[in-house]
Amino acid sequence: MMLAGGVQSNLQFNILWRKLSSMKKFLEELKRKDDIVIIDQEVDINLEIGHIAYCEVKKENGGKALLFTNPVDKKNGKKFDIPVLMNLYGSSDRTNSIFGREINEISDEIEGLLKLSPPTTFGEKLGMAGKLFNLKNVFPKRTNSKGICQEIVKTGDDVKLSDLPILTTWEEDGGPFITMGQVITRSLDGKINNVGMYRLQVYNDNQLGLHWQIHKDSTSIFDEFKEAGKKMPIAVAIGGDPLYTWCGTAPLPKGIFELMMYGFIKNEPLKMVKCVTNDLHVPHDVDMVIEGFADPEKLIDEGPFGDHTGYYTPVEPYPVMDVTAITMRKEPIYLATVVGKPPIEDKYLGYPTERIFLPLLKTTVPDLIDYRMPENGVFHNLIIAKIQTRYPGHAQQTMHALWGVGQMSFVKHAIFVDQDAPELEDDEALTKHILDRVDLDSLLVSSGVIDALDHSSPKGLVGGKLGVDATGEKKESDIELLSTSDLLMKLSDLEPNVLEAHQIMTDTVNPITFIKVKKKFNVGELFKKMKPLEKHLKLVFVVDDMRNQLDNFYMLLWRVTNNIDARRDLFTDGFIGLDATTKDKEYDNYHKEWPKDTDCTPSVLEDLKNRDLLDIDDEFIKRWHI
């Protein structure tokens, strides 16, 4: 079956659709819009499904949703009767439609609740009563009845994770792992419920690795059970209403149950049922649930895995879940995603998160107007914020405030513009606006917590942060531009391992110069050698020759924001230089292992193309660093 546009026959499709109940309405609507591709051909859960989805999401507008009806495990000679659904959230239209109403309407409702004040008239009292009455739907309702997700129950020797079509995405992954599991936990005293999305490595038929990092709420709960010497109950829900999965990613304050967002958004309470082998509760209509316990005294090495940063993460010890039951609805769907270099589904899942939680962020930063976390900055690596500036130093004050707020504390690079800046989605106009307002005095270098997946810092979990104050008036230009060929000649004279140069935004106060080098030296030493050229340079980024194309700004931004630690890689003597090369022990005193890129396996890509399952060319592969 052709991936590029074809669908199976109506008869086959209708037979399949009668089996699908959890997402039936949503998927039927995608079919009506021709926004889903049904793939009947046998496709391997090892690399093949992941590679197809990884390429699909990089197509215009995020491509289509993909339903693989015949997943197989060729290595083990196994076929699955559970379809695999991929790229469900891979477009703005599909992701926004899971909310059932406009994203801005939800954001406005949250803002209205945060600004509630005592009513002064009878009409205001009625209005407030209505708002407060609707909040009753926020709280999930527990039922004693059996859930749809428990139509099939497997316990004891019947528990086999290998019966599920769990994917292996990258060639050097430590094994298959669950990518869209709603991991449900509860505090030791039962007062705090939590759901998060963490990768879950399959070790064998009844053990899963729990990659919850040190800063996550689930880690705090795990520590409670460890201190008490008790096993921790865990439930992993997969599928169901597509909104459940988004709720698992929602950055709510600690102690607030993320699935309450479902009731708030849908204006109807979420129905939850008790697990069969532990006391946790799960949404009643998810496709499948994996139940079990984690022994706080047992850690197992997890990884390596390619992750959403676009790099592999190292092998480290993490808790392990002993699976006690697998329950599912009849004819379930296995929902999965693919991680790697942008753009991936994170791009589209991140937008509603930005909009919906803007009012909450404003409670900490009242003068915040708007913000954006570009997906090619891998979200936590870059934020651009627009603020209402009121006094000197206001931007710096806001930087510190944001770096102390929840998940914003993991942001490495923060750029601030004022109320007169272009719209944050207008990339070209905004970039020029920023470059016209940057100088050496506008930079703030700090240090703080960083994401556990970040590799740039010499230490783990703590690293450099760079703030840029691009508020205020346009600066005066004093640069003496050289042609790119002349500049490259002068750079090559200073350092023979300089390979290429490329200049962009040359009509701004601070043109950007990208330099590609063969990494046989410390880039800080190169910046010192470039001192005589300072009148020709303003903002310089240095990358190495590992497939970086200097005219591909999208992927350069991904590379740069990933690879920089501001305390080590920033040069500010005469011009602003940033070292975004791969670091090592010899030249950079970097003693960790620098991670590899997440790269598709060429032979798998070629085979998929030969089977008409993939329609991409060499330019597509080069553009997205496939």
pTM for the model stands at: 0.93
Contact of 467 with 396, CB cutoff 8 Å: yes
Q: Pick from 315, 335, 355: which residue ends a domain?
A: 335
What does the pLDDT read at residue 622?
A: 96
Report in angstroms the alpha-carbon separations of 419 from 370, 387, 399, 416, 433: 9, 6, 16, 10, 12
CB 361, CB 371: distance < 8 Å: yes
Put residue 212 in one of left, alpha, beta given phi > 0 → left and psi -120 to 50 → alpha.
beta
Task: Mark whether 500 and 555 lie in a shared domain.
Answer: yes
Residue 606 lies in a domain: yes
Q: Is residue 127 part of a domain?
A: no
Question: How far is the C-alpha of 284 from the C-alpha of 270, rounded, in Å?
Answer: 8
| 214 token code pair | 């040190």
**535 shares a domain with 511:** yes
Both 442 and 545 in a single domain?
A: no
Residues 531 and 447 in one domain: no
> Where on the phi/psi map is residue 325: left (φ > 0), alpha (ψ -120 to 50), or beta?
beta
Rounded Cα–Cα distance for residues 549 and 551 (Å): 5
CATH code, domain carrying 388: 3.40.1670.10
Give the end of a domain, one of 335, 363, 380. Answer: 335
Pairwise CA distance, residues 139 & 269, whole Å: 6
List the chain residues with pLDDT less than 50. 1-21, 128
Q: Same structural domain for residues 143 and 257?
A: yes
Same-domain check for residues 454 and 554: no
- 361 with 213, same domain: the answer is no
Query: Which residues, in sequence order, are bridge partners of residue 184?
Result: 195, 235
Q: Is residue 296 part of a domain?
A: yes
**pLDDT at position 9:** 41
| pLDDT score of 326 | 98
Q: Is residue 102 part of a domain?
A: no
Residue 544 lies in a domain: yes
36 and 182 inside one domain:
no
- Domain span at residue 382 reads 346-469
> Among 41, 40, 94, 39, which Cα is nearest to 63's?
94
Q: What is the structure's pLDDT at 120?
A: 62
Peptide bond into 296 cis (omega under 30): no
| Number of domains forming the structure of the chain | 4
pLDDT for 391:
94
Please tell me the distance from the alpha carbon of residue 194 to that of residue 210, in angstroms, as a whole number: 15
Same domain, 437 and 504: no
In a domain, 565, yes or no: yes
* Range 395-402 contact pairs with CB under 8 angstroms and sequence separation of 24 or more: 395/467, 395/469, 395/470, 395/471, 396/444, 396/467, 396/469, 398/365, 398/367, 398/368, 399/444, 399/446, 399/467, 399/469, 400/446, 401/364, 401/365, 402/361, 402/364, 402/365
Write out the catalytic residue numbers: 307
- Flag whether 123 is in a domain: no
Q: What is the pLDDT of residue 8?
A: 39
pLDDT of residue 122: 56
Residues 24 and 53 in one domain: yes
| The last residue of a domain, from among 446, 469, 492 | 469
Query: Which tokens belong to 265?
Result: 């958004």
> Residue 354: in which H helix or E strand, if any?
helix 346-364
Is residue 208 within 8 A of residue 202, CB to CB? The reply is yes
Phi, psi (deg, nearest 5) at residue 399: -55, -50
Query: Measuring CA to CA, which residue among 247, 154, 170, 41 is closest to residue 626?
Result: 170
Instruction: Look at residue 407 in the predicted model and tell me its pLDDT.
Output: 86
Same domain, 434 and 491: no
Do both 609 and 539 map to the same domain?
no
Task: Assess if residue 341 is contained within a domain.
Answer: no
